[in-house]
């Protein structure tokens, strides 16, 4: 009997200890703060649409070589056209035997491509002669796009960045010399006044006298756009709840969590779908101290992600393991989103 009482007492103490630890853990939950600039997460007064991108171009070898020759004519840098490689997934690749950094890679399904004329002549320890930067570089970039037949509608173009690519060299005296190598111009996409995140972008790199050195052209052809019905949308409070859930899972051990931005955007998954979502940018603040340290070391980590606003999104988001299959029942009615806040 004494052993039985002892065991019961031990179990009771153990359960009380677990309960105390559990309560202590619950008290450590960090409240999510929102920067003053972050507005309400709401779909009210927004015209919400989805877009389909042409992913069935199935470009022929002849079409691929024609595009490659256009690029090499503009850059005046050759590729080995007789060595076109067909890769998995509809990818075709051209390279240069003289310069391993020179290449042309194109997705034959969408027409999106990556081109690099080669960087061998930019490895020297000097500034690129006659390098054109700033607004003049922007003007030349537009000329290149127009000459290549790749200049989009002005309404879709958003100038995201004008800058350059530098090369840093560590000298014998342990000082660093920085050389200006290339000018860079980047355009992001806008559809119906909503910024497009994800794959959509045009990035040009230019060298001496504005010569084309590199071009990323991910700007899928829109084949269909559809207005979304109210019933297809998740509620405003659900968008916020999903965002905070994802943040709490990611911010393990953070002492402070601040949501810096929450913007309504379109997300291009690079696989044929452009859909509405909320783009969340947060920052996690940590304090760590080893046993032999007297003071805490503080650091912060940025964290960003997308929250789909469709109940059944077709786009493939970074947090997904598999994409959803499209439904055969689609309607194109006007929407009037509910205001849940």
Residue 81 tokens, joined:
């056209």
| Averaged pLDDT in 10-residue chunks for the chain of 341 residues | 50 50 53 94 91 95 96 92 92 92 95 94 90 95 97 96 92 88 97 96 96 97 95 95 95 94 96 96 92 84 97 92 55 35 37
pLDDT at 204 (0 to 100): 97
Residue 208 DSSP code: B
pLDDT in tens, 147-164: 999 999 999 999 999 999
Domain with CATH 2.40.128 in the chain: 29-54+222-341
Residue found by looking up tokens 């402070």 in the block: 256
Q: Can you say whether residue 76 is alpha, beta or left, with left for phi > 0 and alpha for psi between -120 and 50 degrees?
A: left
Residue found by looking up tokens 């050389």 in the block: 179
Q: Residue 217 forms beta bridges with which residues? A: 113, 202
* Helical (H) or strand (E) element with 18: helix 2-27
CB neighbours of 200 closer than 8 A, spacing ≥ 6? 188, 189, 218, 219, 220, 268, 274
Nearest of 70, 58, 182, 158 to residue 115 by alpha carbon: 70
Alpha-carbon span 266 to 22, nearest angstrom: 41
Rg (CA), the chain: 27
Number of DSSP helices (H) and strands (E) in the chain, helices first = 4, 15
Q: Can you say whether residue 49 is alpha, beta or left, with left for phi > 0 and alpha for psi between -120 and 50 degrees?
A: beta
pLDDT in tens, 233-279: 999 999 999 999 999 999 988 999 999 999 999 999 999 999 999 99
CB 236 within 8 A of CB 141: no
pLDDT at 17 (0 to 100): 53
pTM: 0.82
pLDDT at 4 (0 to 100): 52
Residue 294 tokens, joined:
């007297």
CB 331 within 8 A of CB 319: no
Residue 8, CA distances (Å) to 11, 15, 34, 203 in order: 5, 11, 48, 71
Alpha-carbon span 45 to 47, nearest angstrom: 7
CB 277 within 8 A of CB 207: no
Residue 188 tokens, joined:
């992001």
- The CATH fold assigned to 29-54+222-341 is Lipocalin (2.40.128)
Residue found by looking up tokens 């990611």 in the block: 250
């Amino acid at each position: 009997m004494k052993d039985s009482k002892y065991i019961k007492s031990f179990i009771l103490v153990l359960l009380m200890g677990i309960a105390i630890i559990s309560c202590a853990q619950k008290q450590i939950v960090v409240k999510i703060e929102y920067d003053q600039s972050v507005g309400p997460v709401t779909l009210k007064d927004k015209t919400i649409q989805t877009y389909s991108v042409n992913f069935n171009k199935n470009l022929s070898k002849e079409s691929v070589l024609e595009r490659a020759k256009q690029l090499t004519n503009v850059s005046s840098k050759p590729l080995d056209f007789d060595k076109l490689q067909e890769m998995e997934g509809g990818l075709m690749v051209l390279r240069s035997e003289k310069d391993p950094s020179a290449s042309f890679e194109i997705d034959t399904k969408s027409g999106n491509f990556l081109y690099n004329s080669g960087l061998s002549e930019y490895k020297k320890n000097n500034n690129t002669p006659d390098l054109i930067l700033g607004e003049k570089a922007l003007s030349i970039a537009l000329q290149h796009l127009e000459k290549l037949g790749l200049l989009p509608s002005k309404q879709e173009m958003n100038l995201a960045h004008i800058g350059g690519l530098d090369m840093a060299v560590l000298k014998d005296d342990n000082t660093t010399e920085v050389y200006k190598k290339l000018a860079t111009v980047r355009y992001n996409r806008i559809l119906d006044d909503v910024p497009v995140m994800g794959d959509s972008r045009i990035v040009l790199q230019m060298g001496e006298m504005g010569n084309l050195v590199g071009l990323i052209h991910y700007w899928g052809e829109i084949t269909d756009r559809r207005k979304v019905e109210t019933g297809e949308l998740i509620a405003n409070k659900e968008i916020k709840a999903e965002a905070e859930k994802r943040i709490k899972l990611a911010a393990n051990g953070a002492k402070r969590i601040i949501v810096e931005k929450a913007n309504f955007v379109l997300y291009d998954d690079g696989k044929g779908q452009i859909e509405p979502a909320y783009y969340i940018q947060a920052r996690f603040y940590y304090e760590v101290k080893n046993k032999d340290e007297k003071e805490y070391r503080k650091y912060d980590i940025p964290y960003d992600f997308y929250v789909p606003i469709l109940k059944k999104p077709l786009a493939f988001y970074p947090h997904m393991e598999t994409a959803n299959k499209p439904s055969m029942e689609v309607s194109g009615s006007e929407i009037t989103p509910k205001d849940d806040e």
